[in-house]
Chain A
């Protein structure tokens, strides 16, 4: 087992096998010694988690199986996403949920891992059309808080055999178990894409454009807004994209539309996905979820607090960069859900919005089931 202490003051351990990882957790369980669980360490605000040891799956690395004809990839949890994306691209495939890379906006280094992606359910602009990471997760292997190695799901696209623990693990931020292997559905990457850009629009106009476009059968796969410009992305086979551009342009014929073609369209969406417009700052960044139709009212309240806004997911996701007080931001979000993505000095407790009493009780009971000694990222998602 390697040990290095360069990342944190505390020890970092990275077991080279699932069995050793399980042994380590079993030992921590016996001692009730908390562990800070991370993947590539590019996203999690882990410094505030009270633990003497940082556990990463980084050394459990490598693609186990990739079958393009079955749209299936199995990889060890520590495999860098970049390695997987390159392998998929060589076969003309991709993860349809377009996982975001947090490094630019959070100013972090290192390589995001597939295990970290699943643990945080990381999903990008195409979520509105293709679903989230959790929708493409076929199966998991993980070690629970007692050191038991557990398998759930599998590698096939339809599987209703027993309870779906993959859904629970996806987005559990390492609090239920440490992933050692994940199986994901891959999809053909779109052959071609174009973007319709609507300039000089307000948030209200943008959300109206989004609602209209997303009600069409033209499979809009990106609907984002910032600094007065709204963008709609269309993808598919080349003739399909031309046709869809014509139909959408006709639908908005009273508006001036710029067409962004290849390769600029791809660059544009990569930058929107990774929030390049909010990079290089240490102002806290919030992720606020609303019904798209409520975005204009929420944005108006947020603007009153001072800060910068951009929209994704057709208005359902508001990114908000602001130094405003977290209570005020939560109030402005209304029934929407506000969570701190990172940066700044706000405490970790802001990373997850408060839950209703019944949901909090159930979630806490599930955490105790997976992690009876409370050693996996303790306190990160609640008691």
Chain B
């Protein structure tokens, strides 16, 4: 059995399930509410698949007003709401409880406004991340955040988790590219925050909503900053015979004044898995960096030459610069298939702690020691330029006790990240996965004010109530907000 606890479902809500479903169906167009057990099962988990629980019902609205109607009904009947984008969360952010109604944004699919003169796009938030950039392709613009689930994940989920991606070293994460939102409050009220004007006065409520993991409101529309596409981009691959040297190289590149769009890191465990899976032709060594730079052909050549000079001081086992689109694809092929390759080795837990770049070598060394102590193999593949690590802990879900051991190992790694000055999660979010570790990073007062802010937006604690904050810490808030109408 897995180890993360969820609160007991509210017996009062469960007893009223037929009335709740009837009220939702009466208020919303036909086909919007799903309540048969065969269908709600499709929503029982997100990408943290070790945890599953079908919800009481699922609502899939097509407009902001329908979201508001669903929220109002749930609020009046005191039913917890679990917001859901595409369900690609790795942290259990969209995990339902038996007494909850899932409100999904996936049918909110409209592109509302494309304004290249003022450099923004306005979309409904069920649009996928990749579809936003696809919409802008012909005008020569793109939307910068690019989480690896970008084919499937929605803008709603990106905003909830403040998603990053490989290119955020240069372009920032979601919060740096989000200008405005239309939200539905827990009461069903619709509120506009921010918009296409940059730098407006007043409290930065858009910045507060971004990354709030469905705790404050459901975002139904978003105004996003768009960026001109670069003329070109090419990667280099650099192999090293030690993890420490690779980490050193990352620091030196950043310090040199270059600003690559991405610096990706893969260790030997990952490299072997990738070779076996897609034969990417990577060197057999302790660590590989993929560094991508942008610009015109001449600009790219100039930057690659400077990276070569930095790398050569550190005696790399290989330095391979892409000269063509085909070579670029070949260099990226292994990195892009890394998670698939790891999946072939067995079950894995993907962590997301971030550490100061200067602490990468120490952290990698310590993870290696913990790996031996726990007797579980770990692979490291991550965004090195910003210190956002993704250790993958390999385990066998069928072996009794291994998931628990892997989770304990993961918790130790995340504590390590906090101890060296980093944080529990760089881009996946807290969800349920890191919920009970929050007291490691934050004091009681730090967490108290965050919960007080949640209470401003959601006084009855109906929105995603058992996430982000440790259960025993949030218990008084959840208890005080009596669920019975």
Contact = CB atoms under 8 A, between A and B. Distances in A.
B230 A217 contact: yes
Contact of B191 (A72, A211, A215, A362): A362
A236 B170 CA distance: 14
B255 A68 contact: yes
Contacts of B205: 168, 359, 362-363
Contacts of B173: 158
A69 B298 contact: no
Interface stretch (A147-155, A225-233, A262-270): A147-155
B449 A150 contact: yes
A157 interface: yes
B226 to A, nearest CB: 10
A123 B198 CA distance: 11
Given A160-B430, A214-B119, A237-B303, A69 B204 contact: no
Please tell me the size bucket of the interface on B: 35 or more
Interface string A177-207: 0000000000111010000000000000000
A138 to B, nearest CB: 10
A232 to B, nearest CB: 14
A168 B203 contact: yes
Contacts of A162: 430, 438, 441-442, 446-447, 450, 468
A72 B208 CA distance: 22
Contacts of B358: 67, 69-70
Interface stretch (B5-13, B26-34, B332-340, B416-424): B416-424
A194 to B, nearest CB: 15
B1 interface: no
B200 A289 contact: yes
Contacts of B323: none
A71 interface: yes
A127 B198 contact: yes
B428 interface: yes
Q: Which of A67, A69, A71, A159 has the most CB of B within 10 A?
A: A159
Interface in B351-392: 354-358, 383, 386-388
B425 interface: yes
Interface residues of A, number: 81
A171 B118 contact: no
Contacts of A290: 197
A161 B197 contact: no
Nearest to B440: A161
B238 to A, nearest CB: 17
Interface of A: 67-72, 91-92, 121, 123, 127-128, 131-132, 134-135, 144, 148-152, 154-168, 170-172, 176, 187-189, 191, 211, 214-217, 236-237, 239-240, 243, 289-293, 313, 316-317, 336-337, 339, 351-353, 355-356, 358-359, 362-363, 365-367, 369-370, 381
Given A167-B175, A191-B257, A237-B257, 7 more contacts: A127-B198, A156-B421, A165-B453, A237-B302, A337-B201, A339-B201, A369-B452
